[in-house]
Structure 1
Amino acid sequence: MAGFAASNTLGDLKQDVELGSPPEDSISDLCFNPNPTDPKDFLAVASWDKKVRIYEILPNGQGQGKLQMEHDGPVFSCDFFKDGSKVIAGGADKQAKVLDLVSGQTAQVAQHDAPVRCVRYFENNGTPMAVTGSWDKTVKYWDFRSPQPAGVLPCQERVYSMDVRDNLLVVGTADRYINVVNLKEPTKFYKTMQSPLKWQTRVVSCFTDSQGFAIGSIEGRCAIQYVEDKDASLNFSFKCHRDPPQGNVTNVHAVNDISFHPQHGTFSTAGSDGTFHFWDKDAKHRLKGYPNVGGSITSTKFNKTGSIFAYAISYDWSRGFQGNASTYPTKVVLHPVQQDECKPRPNPKKR
């Protein structure tokens, strides 16, 4: 167990821009159009208000609503297709739908026996595919040309979080199980482990180079895990999103999301304490911490170049329904990333 080097660098939120026409209920997921050849940035926002909204991010940093997809229940997860032409989303209505951004048409593409907690787009030898994870304790793979799943992977427990990078699929379930799947053999576990964190998993997020993944839990901790045993010496966990101790009591907050910078491989954590931080896992250094944004941060994403960091502020249900109030903020904010904020530190220990 090795901690991060302390850093007193406080980041600046003065240039952050709030999106107009935000969702009407808690925001569950964000995703940017990943197509590097598209000069425009589009942001998809999934919400408990049963909608996925698509915004175009204008050069002045403002966002403009373009399209929306309706579901029959709260939407929990969304992801863009690699070419940016479509968005897939899933939620409490036990299905996943695809919105075609060109035609505006919506089609159901997946079905589960319980709410769909996570959806991710990937490609299998160039074929567009989706993987869905559900509270019915299964992961299913979908070829969009067929209404039946291309494969089913039973899990130990309900799926809480899932991420894909290249051929790496990581699935975090209830009871702290972490399943690692090689998408070349999608219907078997490459590796299964219990989370090194002692409490419930909130998020798993793959490294940019797909060599490993980060785990965030409800008790203000993160773990950095490499896939291969030969790299096990590089695994560690650290504390974050905790208030300074008051006497014998330390308030801890859920780590709600972890996002990796697409170019630098550094990452962000964001929590129910209303703060986000940028970290360098290789140098074990906190690059920047940011002031409280006035509400829980429920989801985060970098855009394709890493020049924009989007974060959603909304109620995250960590205090039950009693903690929700009509005055609680619900908004999406865009943070322009300054060059030094996410750049890795020179690491003298690197081999």
Structure 2
Amino acid sequence: MAATQDMAITSPPPDGISDLCFSSQADYLAASSWDNQIRIYEIQPTGQSIPKASYSHEAPALCVDWSKDGTKVVSGGADKAGRMFDVATGQSTQIAAHDDAIKGIKFLDQGQQVLATGSWDKTVKYWDLRSPQPIGTVQLPERVYSMDIRQQLMVVGTADRHVVLFDLNNPTTIFKQTISPLKWQTRTVSCFIDGTGYAIGSIEGRVGIQYIDEKDQARNFSFKCHRDDAKNVFSVNDISFHPTYGTFSTCGADGTIVFWDKDSKQRLKSFSNMNGTIACTAFNRSGNIFAYAISYDWTKGHKLATPGNTNQIMLHSVLDSDIRPKLNNKTRR
């Protein structure tokens, strides 16, 4: 069972939970799931949750994001469509299209109206919500598995361990293309809150911390996590950065969650095992609520995707002492 003080969301998705995202304007949480649905929940100060709205894709929903002003939710799915839900009107419309499933969807930090989508069709496309056609398309070396945006930085992790970096001042040109520092398939990428680098997680129970600037390359490092005493190795399914401190969480197929400080290279907090794979995570805008989904992550294939699998979204009240960076003797930058 989850920690007793963590609260379960009311009416969670009945099928695999693929992504979680909080609004940056209020404590509203959006969740995408394999039952084709996007669900939106209001999280009250007591930790109670109220289902507020939902809308549908025509196939499993794989990713979700909020507009910066908190008025719209966007999502991508295996129906090859990007969809937008207007919170005020309750209407959803298609706003993006690819030739294969959309695995990543993110609003650019610079504009309310522009978003990026990444697909298994090996492209990233940029969309202005006022136009039905993409305003830019970039060919990638492989299928998109994960992507993230922070300030001017967009990081796209693809199949075959490619990592493609974009400077969003020049979004249709690849800024840098590299190979993951990890030896096995990329599962997740997540940008530092200041946009100076990113964390990357793989199926081999390992995380890489990577800086963009050439002068900072000596600060790059990787570490093992989500492994057990019997030397079993588990997938790192998601990495979420705290919005204030820049510390971060990892969650894994081993059923555990850990908070980390990359600057002091320390583990800050370990959660007890949830007895179910942790598929995805998210901090709210102030970083005092941490949401995590106990849900099958497909790391063992379709044979373990049984109807009896747990699907829960849990809310953890974050103690400042559990997520605040630890002081170390090195110069902090």
Task: Check whether TM > 0.5.
Answer: yes
CA distance in 2, matches of 1:59, 1:170: 33
Q: Secondary structure at the match of 2:218?
A: helix
2:313 maps to 1:332? yes
2:5 maps to 1:19? no
- TM, length-normalised to structure 1: 0.93
CA distance in 1, matches of 2:330, 2:57: 50
CA distance in 1, matches of 2:195, 2:210: 11
Q: Which of 157, 170, 179 is 1:185 aligned to?
A: 170
- TM, length-normalised to structure 2: 0.98
2:223 maps to 1:227? no
Q: Secondary structure at the match of 1:341?
A: helix
1:316-331 equivalences in 2 (<5 Å): 316-331=297-312
Aligned-partner residue type, residue 307 of structure 1: N
For residue 14 of structure 1, report the CA deviation from its aligned partner.
Answer: 2.7
Q: Which of 140, 155, 160 is 1:155 aligned to?
A: 140
For residue 299 of structure 1, report the CA deviation from its aligned partner.
Answer: 0.5
Q: Secondary structure at the match of 2:275?
A: coil
For residue 189 of structure 1, report the CA deviation from its aligned partner.
Answer: 1.1
CA distance in 2, matches of 1:304, 1:339: 14
Q: Which of 110, 129, 134 is 2:119 aligned to?
A: 134
CA distance in 1, matches of 2:39, 2:279: 16
Q: Which runs of 5+ in 1 are unaligned?
A: 1-11
Query: CA offsets per residue over residues 220-268 of structure 1, 9 Å max, x none?
Result: 00000001110001000000000113xxxx2100000000000010000
2:272 maps to 1:287? no
Higher RCO (CA < 8 A, seq sep 6+) = 1
Residue equivalent to 1:170: 155
Overall identity of the aligned pairs, in %:
53
Q: Which of 241, 246, 250 is 1:265 aligned to?
A: 246
For residue 200 of structure 1, report the CA deviation from its aligned partner.
Answer: 0.2
Residue equivalent to 1:8: none
For residue 104 of structure 1, report the CA deviation from its aligned partner.
Answer: 0.2
4+ residue stretches of structure 1 with deviation over 3 A?
A: none
Aligned-partner residue type, residue 231 of structure 1: D
8 Å CA contact 2:67–2:112 kept in 1: the answer is no
CA distance in 2, matches of 1:217, 1:115: 21
CA distance in 1, matches of 2:45, 2:82: 32
1:234-313 equivalences in 2 (<5 Å): 234-245=219-230, 250-313=231-294
Residue equivalent to 1:83: 69
Aligned residues between the structures: 331
Q: Secondary structure at the match of 1:327?
A: coil
CA root-mean-square deviation: 1.0
CA distance in 2, matches of 1:288, 1:115: 35
Query: CA offsets per residue over residues 320-348 of structure 1, 9 Å max, x none?
Result: 11112222110100000011010000011
Q: Which runs of 5+ in 2 are unaligned?
A: none
Query: CA offsets per residue over residues 11-42 of structure 1, 9 Å max, x none?
Result: x923100001000100000000012xxxx410
1:12-91 equivalences in 2 (<5 Å): 13-35=3-25, 40-91=26-77
Query: CA offsets per residue over residues 33-80 of structure 1, 9 Å max, x none?
Result: 012xxxx41000000000000000011101110000111000000000
For residue 123 of structure 1, report the CA deviation from its aligned partner.
Answer: 4.3
CA distance in 2, matches of 1:128, 1:260: 24
Distance 1:224 1:340, change over 3 A: same
For residue 273 of structure 1, report the CA deviation from its aligned partner.
Answer: 0.5
CA distance in 2, matches of 1:236, 1:24: 38
For residue 127 of structure 1, report the CA deviation from its aligned partner.
Answer: 4.9
